[in-house]
Structure 1
Amino acid sequence: MIYQISSYVKWSNINEIKVFIIGVLNNDSNVYRQLVNVADTAKFIQKKPLSIVLFNNIEDIKDVQVVFVYKPESYPLNKIFDVIKGKKVLLISENYGFHQSMINFIVYKNEKHFDINDKRLIDAGLSVSQTFAALSIKSESVWNSYQKTDSMLVQEKLLVESQKQLINKQKSEIDEQQKKINTQKEELTKLFKDIITTQKTLAEKQKLVNIQIQSIKQQEKEIVKQKEEVNKQQAEITKQTEILDNQKKAIITQEDKIGAQKKVLNEQLAKIEQQRLIMYLFIVVILMVSGLGYFIYRNYRIKKQANKLLQEKNVKIQAQHDELLVKNVEIMQQKEEITSQRDEIEKHRDDLVVKNVEITKQKEEITTQRDEIEKQRDIATTQRDHIIKQNKLITDSIVYAKRIQTAILPMEDFFKQMLNEYFILYRPKDIVSGDFFWETIKGNKKIIAVADCTGHGVPGAFMSMLGISYLNEIVIKENIERPDEILNHLREHIVRSLKQQGKDGEVKDGMDISLFSIDFKTNKLQFAGANNHLTLIRNNEISIIEADKMPISIYLKMELFNLKEVDLVKGDTIYANSDGFGDQFGGPARKKFMSKRLRQTFLEMQALSMADQKTKLEQAFEEWRGDTEQIDDVLVVGIRI
């Protein structure tokens, strides 16, 4: 506009001008940059090279052909006229009063209108073409009406600018929060990776410790068995020792008897020898007597009788001698038997001594094994204590991760905005959960997501963090509101982040999700789902809003998600849930609860408030589960229109 106006004005000293300069009086350089762009394109005005300069103060104005000003509150026109007086300078202004400037314009309904003060132009030695002058506003009332409307537009523009600044500030805060979330996400990712690595290491150590404990138990059983065997052998040795001692005592007794018998035998032999000497003496006497003949004839009969007696006695002595010889043979046999028994006892005793040495050696080996077992038990105890410590550290880390996950999930006060009645049944299987819920408000719409990530515990929680972060980026930052488009973008982010390419054997982590929006102005529901259906109950009748049969991850079928729309009426109840409730084992037959039974439960509790419905579902879950372990995360969200 300034360039065009300058083209319609005539300067009386145009031939003296070498460079045509337009000055902009403003501390905001937007107009200056626009004019510089025009000068770069046009390059000339009235056949003179065109140059643009910027002035911040009125006192700086000099060596220009045109001055443009558009802030009445900052630059009074009377001061500007004092500076340019007598210098053939055209003053162009915006949003000043009627005929206060030389040429003054305003913008009304995106059209520019202007007035011309002929007197001030003539005083400055300037003139305008009649065609241009004919387009100017001649009435002050018309100008004031435009100016008043323009003032309102300016105020609206300022309001819009203020709102833009507020929005930019909010965007900056959102970006800052996003950076913090990304930082926390990176920290959590590192923490989850460390936890998974530590869990694997601990699992291997636990497995090794279990093997060692089993080995120790087996060795302890062997030791007990060996101790029993040793005790048994010691008892046998004690018994054999007692037998040996008894046999030794018997041998000593028998040896004493043999000694006594030998003594008696020797005495008897001495008597026999004495009797033999007497017999020999009698024989000599008889011979001597026989030699005398006659002299002893008188005593013949007496001697004969004595001889007979002597012979009988000799026979008895010989019989006793033979008897003693027999007894001596028997004693010798008994002695040999005793000697043989003693040798056998001594051999058995030697065997027992050898066996005792072996048992002592076994005792030493058992003691060594026991010491080694105790050492291994101490090692196992140390490892167990280390595992307990590591478990505590891991548990503390997971509890901290739960605090982060809880902080990212929507707060209760924020979730209940625009909702009359609702409930959220959220029961993680472990400390952290792979199920998550998310919501935000866009105008008259409330957008809600209920998702079930692959796995549970730490891996599932990591995936849920990705899901929440990307939903914030897609809906809040990129301003995408249609549920089907949100899921399409979410799948792209997940596939790209996890570097999924659809190769064989590749882990296809991702999530199943129900995502819907409720427009409370039109009472219209929009829904898109990835394997997770939505349940609508109206007038005690169940309607299932089907989801697409594909997940938020790489998949054989990678089609666009479909949008489903439903007109809602007052009293409708909407349920979105993960598969944890339906897959729970329990009941009399230890079977799954199943989705059909869950929807029937939704139908049966329609007369209850949403808070009582949550209590009813919790009771139903606990009664069905009984003493069975919870197998998955459980998430159910119910909303009544």
Structure 2
Amino acid sequence: MSLIYKIASIREYLVNVGVDESLPPQEVRKVRLVNGILLTGELLFMLIIVKSLIMQVPEEWPIQLAGALVFPMPILFNKWKKYNLARLFCLLIPFLYLSLLTLYWGSERGSQLIIFACSGLAVLFFDKRVYVYLLIALGGLCIIAVEMYNFDHEPIYRTEQLKVAYVINIMITIILLAVISSIFRRENEKYQKSIQRKNSQITNQHSQLLQLHNDLKESVRLINEQTKYARTIQQAILPLKEEMEDIMPDHFLFFKPRDMVSGDFYFVTKIRERIFIAVVDCTGHGVPGAFMSMIGYNLLLEAIELNFIFEPAKILDYLQQRIVYALKQQQTDNNDGMDISICVIDREQQVLSYAGAKHPLLLIENGEMRKIEADRVSIGGILGRPDLRFRNHKFDLSTITGFYMFTDGYRDQYGGEEFKRFMSKRFRKLLLNNCNKRTYEQKAIVEQTFTEWRGKNEQTDDVLIIGVKL
């Protein structure tokens, strides 16, 4: 049993020479077929040599030994991953060898019959019909050529046991066909099992993917529902359109979140004849930004409506301290923060006050635009400085016809023919060219320009602009 097992293991090893894991199952089958047929042919050569020894025909030994040495060559091609070359040689070597053998012994030996068996192998080895037809035709041409030659010429060597040799070669042909059929059937069964196993794996994977898809779909549904609810809450804290129109009769608001909820928000309120306007860009966008916006909005309410801090710079100082304290940024690695610009319109004093953390203010004076730079530091975050005191800027209302407050989403939007950012210079020019128009017309122009610039590209960030005419 042990000897049979070892022989079977050696045969299986030789049959799998050249088989690579990256090969598809149908290619693996072809490699194994070539190796199996070549090993069978080699075994037949050994039997033929034994037959010649028994029949004491020493003239046959050299040519039979040459065939036994040449026939295994395609197995080496398989080992070197030269698969098509191995299949081609698996057919050409028998064609050439048997043709020479027929010329050597004559047609009476029946060696040419084995060419018929070898010609049919082309169907098993090649998928393209042209290769199959050419190789079968080549086998036929070999038979025709040697028959025509033997018709006019005597064999190079004629043996006395022609009848016995003829019968033996017919038996070899039958055995070869039977063995090839057996090998093909066995390899085809393995191929079918391999395909079934892979189909089973694909089915299982499909079931798993379908389950994952359903789970993901359900998760997305829950996230969307929760995000919609978060949007409802965020929108609830923002000033109503009617409230803003009552406080600022001549203004426009362009607010376009990138996601369902936004990290940008605006704040508008009126206390003691003072109008407070803030435009805020929190760290991140989407849900994380929305959480920060809730904190920022509540802190603005706390500063203005509870602590009655009316000076913009002091409001920012208060926000700086409260953000650092609320997020424990001195004890943790939390880097969240916000960029903000805030204006206070005091009608009694005829003064416009402004302070900014990274967000400048654009004033329109005498038909010209004036940019008021913000302090180059954020509220909170990694660049936050609790000890910093923000600067306050004051302007005479009588000289100002309007102003603009905004986050950086508009200028940072990628688009245009060259897929570039909109940039601050183009943004200021757009506002200046349309500052004399009515605010609803300005909003329409700003919105249309943004849509055309973005085109089919994704929105880069949340966008928020407030324009006020005085």
TM exceeding 0.5 = yes
1:330 Cα offset (Å): 8.2
CA RMSD of aligned residues (A): 3.1
Partner in structure 1 of residue 256 of structure 2: 427
User: Superposed, which structure 2 residues align to 1:149-164 within 5 Å?
Assistant: none
Distance 1:634 1:359, change over 3 A: same
Partner in structure 2 of residue 536 of structure 1: 363
1:519 aligned residue (346, 358, 361):
346
User: Is 2:343–2:352's contact at 8 Å kept on the other side of the alignment?
Assistant: yes
Q: Which has the higher contact order (CA 8 A, sep 6+)?
A: 2
User: Is 1:401–1:432's contact at 8 Å kept on the other side of the alignment?
Assistant: yes
**SS of aligned partner of 1:417:** helix
Amino acid at match of 1:378: S
User: Is 2:25–2:191's contact at 8 Å kept on the other side of the alignment?
Assistant: no
Amino acid at match of 2:373: E
Instruction: Tell whether 2:185 aligns with 1:356.
Output: yes
Q: Deviations over 1:113-163 (max 9, x none)?
A: xxxxxxxxxxxxxxxxxxxxxxxxxxxxxxxxxxxxxxxxxxxxxxxxxxx
For 1:466 and 1:236, the matched residues in 2 are separated by 74
Partner in structure 1 of residue 430 of structure 2: 601
Distance 1:615 1:230, change over 3 A: farther
Distance 1:618 1:548, change over 3 A: same
Distance 1:370 1:412, change over 3 A: same
Partner in structure 2 of residue 394 of structure 1: 223
1:567 aligned residue (396, 400, 406):
396
**SS of aligned partner of 2:453:** helix
Amino acid at match of 2:288: P
TM-score normalised by length of structure 1:
0.49
User: Superposed, which structure 2 residues align to 1:470-619 within 5 Å?
Assistant: 470-501=299-330, 506-554=333-381, 555=383, 557=385, 558-569=387-398, 572-619=401-448
Partner in structure 2 of residue 236 of structure 1: 124
For 2:307 and 2:226, the matched residues in 1 are separated by 33
Q: Deviations over 1:76-125 (max 9, x none)?
A: xxxxxxxxxxxxxxxxxxxxxxxxxxxxxxxxxxxxxxxxxxxxxxxxxx
Partner in structure 1 of residue 107 of structure 2: none
Amino acid at match of 1:222: P
Task: List runs of 5+ in structure 2 lacking aligned partners.
Answer: 1-20, 34-119, 127-131, 137-157
User: Is 2:276–2:345's contact at 8 Å kept on the other side of the alignment?
Assistant: yes
For 2:425 and 2:399, the matched residues in 1 are separated by 25
Distance 1:376 1:473, change over 3 A: same
Amino acid at match of 1:236: L
Q: Deviations over 1:196-247 (max 9, x none)?
A: xxxxxxxxxxxxxxxxxxxxxxx999357668999998943999xxx9xxxx
Partner in structure 2 of residue 222 of structure 1: 24
Partner in structure 2 of residue 413 of structure 1: 242
Structure 1 or 2, whichever has the larger Rg, is 1
1:437 Cα offset (Å): 0.1
Distance 1:230 1:428, change over 3 A: farther
User: Superposed, which structure 2 residues align to 1:300-449 within 5 Å?
Assistant: 332-449=161-278
User: Superposed, which structure 2 residues align to 1:10-409 within 5 Å?
Assistant: 222=24, 235-236=123-124, 332-409=161-238
Distance 1:632 1:225, change over 3 A: farther
User: Is 2:337–2:379's contact at 8 Å kept on the other side of the alignment?
Assistant: yes
User: Is 2:329–2:335's contact at 8 Å kept on the other side of the alignment?
Assistant: yes
Amino acid at match of 1:493: R
1:390 Cα offset (Å): 0.7
User: Is 2:264–2:281's contact at 8 Å kept on the other side of the alignment?
Assistant: yes
For 2:245 and 2:283, the matched residues in 1 are separated by 28
**SS of aligned partner of 1:372:** helix
User: Is 2:32–2:187's contact at 8 Å kept on the other side of the alignment?
Assistant: no
1:576 Cα offset (Å): 0.2
Once superposed, which parts of structure 1, at least 4 consecutive aligned residues long, lie more than 3 Å away? Answer: 219-235, 329-332
For 1:446 and 1:227, the matched residues in 2 are separated by 83
User: Is 1:519–1:525's contact at 8 Å kept on the other side of the alignment?
Assistant: yes
Distance 1:236 1:227, change over 3 A: closer
Q: Deviations over 1:381-414 (max 9, x none)?
A: 1101110111111011101111110111111111
Amino acid at match of 1:527: Y
User: Is 2:234–2:290's contact at 8 Å kept on the other side of the alignment?
Assistant: yes
Distance 1:449 1:221, change over 3 A: farther
For 1:221 and 1:568, the matched residues in 2 are separated by 80
User: Is 1:230–1:359's contact at 8 Å kept on the other side of the alignment?
Assistant: no
For 2:204 and 2:261, the matched residues in 1 are separated by 39
For 2:428 and 2:245, the matched residues in 1 are separated by 24
Distance 1:418 1:360, change over 3 A: closer
The alignment covers a number of residue pairs equal to 337
1:494 Cα offset (Å): 1.2
TM-score normalised by length of structure 2:
0.66
For 2:455 and 2:125, the matched residues in 1 are separated by 61
Distance 1:227 1:626, change over 3 A: farther
User: Is 2:29–2:188's contact at 8 Å kept on the other side of the alignment?
Assistant: no
Distance 1:221 1:479, change over 3 A: farther
Distance 1:575 1:223, change over 3 A: farther
Distance 1:361 1:570, change over 3 A: same
User: Is 1:237–1:352's contact at 8 Å kept on the other side of the alignment?
Assistant: no
Single out whichever of 224-233 and 433-442 deviates more from structure 2: 224-233
1:574 Cα offset (Å): 0.7
Amino acid at match of 2:279: V
